Amino acid sequence: MRRLYLIGFPLLMAFDTLAQLSFKMAGSHALPVEANLAWLLRVFGHPWIYGALIGYIGAFFTWMSLLEHAPIGPAFAASHLEVVSVMLLSAWLFHEPLTLARVAGALLILAGIACLGVAESREGAAAAREPAAAG
Partner 1 sequence: MPPLALALWLFNVVIDTGGQLAFKAAAGHPQAGEGLARWRHMARRPWLWIGIGCYVAEFLAWIAFLSLVPLSEGVLLGSINIVALMLAGRLLFGEKLTRLRVIGMLLVSVGVAVVGAGA
Of 64 and 134, nearer to partner 1 (C-beta) is 64
| Chain residues in the site for partner 1 (CB under 8 A) | 63-69, 71-74, 76-78, 80, 83, 87, 99-102, 104-116, 118-119, 122-123
- Which residues have a Cβ under 8 Å from the Cβ of 4 and sit 6 or more positions away? 65, 66, 69
Minimum Å gap between C-beta 17 and partner 1 is 15
Calpha distance 35→77 (Å, rounded): 34
Q: Taking a C-beta distance cutoff of 8 angstroms, is the pair 77, 113 a contact?
A: yes
- Which residues have a Cβ under 8 Å from the Cβ of 120 and sit 6 or more positions away? 1, 2, 5, 74
Of 41 and 107, nearer to partner 1 (C-beta) is 107
Minimum Å gap between C-beta 54 and partner 1 is 17
Of 18 and 113, nearer to partner 1 (C-beta) is 113
